[in-house]
Amino acid sequence: MKNICIVGLGISGLSILDYFADKNAKIIAFDSNENIDKSKFEKYDKFENIDINIGKNPTGEEDVDIIYVSPGISLYTDYLVKFKNRNVPITGEVELAYEILKDAKYIGITGTNGKTTTTSMLGEIYKSYESNTYVAGNIGISLLNFTKTAKENSIFITELSSFQLESIIDFKPHIAVILNITPDHIERHKTMQEYKNAKFNITKNQTSEDFLVLNKDDSEIDLDLSKVKAQVVYFSQKEKIQNGVYYDSCQRAIINNLYGKNELVIKREDIHLLGNHNIENTLASVTVALLDGIPTELIKKSIAEFKSVKHRMQEIRTLNGVKYINDSKGTNVMSTVKALEAINSDIILIAGGYDKHIEFDELIKHFDNKVKKLVLFGTTKYQILDTAIKYGFKDIIVLENLSQAVKICNILAKEGDYVLLSPACASWDMYKSYEHRGDDFISLVNELKE
């Protein structure tokens, strides 16, 4: 009988617990949150092999064969360091799903920004071509959820965070994508290089039969290609790639130049997403789909029908000529910068949230006379305030919560303005997730009276 320890009982932790519940395994599970909804654990009462500990963490001394850790828990945590020093394997739900379905095809997408949009777009492209396609991972759907129904030849379009990638052991995507890298989660990874290394893990198990798709325009994607075994393929908005996919600004179209084909795939007017950053996401999606042999016409049709994902530049309503945009997925500086670049009108920006130990200078530098008012809330509100004042921007309001922010924006906004929630921060100081924050914003905006 295998002795298993599960740390963190969120989406991934519960999926692992569900998988092992009726297996020949002894399970000890922990969640440090004393206020977690305990009713969701009642179904495990009938299993004598499961010991659930709420409001506690392991000590690191438990007699276990393997640790499955939630992506939200740092591998630098004291008890995990103790397990590691005892040579107890530490991994996560992605690795377990791969172990169960190794014969499936995995497409892995990582990067600081654009992962969810690219994963969702690729999901729609692949589903138009292969019905046994599943979209999962950091997008909010556990890979393990599909292991009971998926066939051996299934395709998993998998969004992968740095948190998930730092704990993989054998996981190997057939096609891996690194969209971009900007500073993020430094409070977790300690240094920018460690953050990069976690992202670069996506290719560590690839072979010469696999593909690594990289953004040619991003100098931060500086992994040592001499150590990469996969075939490297680039996409670019800035230059014509000899054997890759690029955006031609003269034709305003995405061009497939793989294997010298020089084929127009889709024109900009047929991509119904705001901002140049979504050209980047579309380029990555097109590159992956072409490498996997999906016909160009299917790719074009799927992209033309694709709309923005919830919480990413999502238009909520227009009230008295003011557009309200939910970009709660903007959880770091460059994500918010890209949101600002996508709007060509005056903006009232709502920002602030959980402190990830990042700087906000680049955010203020990219206001470009478009941001007319900055409305701040959350743990980082005074840090952003100080940074804005340093650069001479003083049209700032500091508030306690999102409800106050929406009300003041409704008063201040004029016809033609955009009220943009794009916090440049994670949500964990006040909300359980960016989805929770975005849903709150949607409700608050829809409650406004005309």
Q: Which of 195, 113, 116 is nearest to 162 (CA)?
A: 195
Residue 435: closest CA among 354, 323, 326, 338: 326
- Rounded distance between C-alpha atoms, residue 123 and residue 222, angstroms: 28
Instruction: Give CA torsion, residues 192, 197, 198, 203, to 10 deg.
Output: 150
Q: Which two tokens stand for residue 20?
A: 């092992």
**Residue 183's pLDDT is what?**
76
Q: From the CB of residue 169, how many other CB atoms can be counted at a distance below 10 Å?
A: 15
Quote the CA–CA distance of 396 and 392 in Å, as a whole number.
11
| pLDDT tens digit sequence for 185-225 | 777 777 989 999 999 999 999 999 999 999 999 999 999 99
Amino acid at 209: E
Token code pair at residue 360: 């906000």
* Spatial contact of 399 and 302, defined as CB atoms under 8 Å apart: no
Q: At which residue do the structure tokens 């640790």 appear? A: 67
At 51-101, the pLDDT tens digits run 999 999 999 999 999 999 999 899 999 999 999 999 999 999 999 999 999
Q: What is the pLDDT of residue 38?
A: 87
Q: Tell me the helices (H) and strands (E) count for the chain, helix number first.
A: 14, 20
Domains of the chain: 2-91 (3.40.50.720), 94-305 (3.40.1190.10), 314-447 (3.90.190.20)
Residues in contact with 48: Cβ distance below 8 Å, sequence separation at least 6, in sequence order: none
**Would you say 71 and 43 are in contact if contact means Cβ atoms under 8 Å apart?**
no
**What span, in angstroms and rounded, lies between the C-alpha atoms of 439 and 431?**
10
Q: How many CB atoms lie within 10 A of CB 40?
A: 10
Picking from 410, 435, 200, the residue whose alpha carbon sits closest to that of residue 330 is 435
Sheet holding 314-319, edge to edge: 314-319, 322-326, 418-421, 347-351, 371-376, 396-398
Determine the pLDDT at residue 140.
Answer: 83
pLDDT of residue 11: 87
Farthest CA pair distance, the chain: 67
Residue listed under structure tokens 């965070």: 161
Residues at the annotated binding site for ATP?
111-117
Angle at 95 between CA 218 and CA 309, to 5 degrees: 50
- Residue keyed to tokens 């046994």: 132
Q: Helix, strand, or coil here: 112?
A: coil
List residues forming the annotated binding site. Answer: 111-117
Task: Write down the H helix ranges in 294-332.
Answer: 296-305
* pLDDT values of the chain reduced to their tens digit, one per residue, 450 residues: 899 999 999 889 999 999 999 999 999 999 999 989 888 899 999 999 999 999 999 999 999 999 999 998 999 999 999 999 999 999 999 999 999 998 999 999 999 999 999 999 999 999 999 999 999 998 888 899 898 888 878 999 999 999 999 999 999 999 999 999 987 777 777 798 999 999 999 999 999 999 999 999 999 999 999 999 999 999 999 999 999 999 999 999 999 999 989 999 999 999 999 888 999 999 999 999 999 999 999 999 999 999 888 899 999 999 999 999 999 999 999 999 999 999 999 999 999 999 989 999 999 999 999 999 999 999 999 999 999 999 999 999 999 999 999 999 999 999 999 999 999 999 999 998 999 999 999 999 999 998
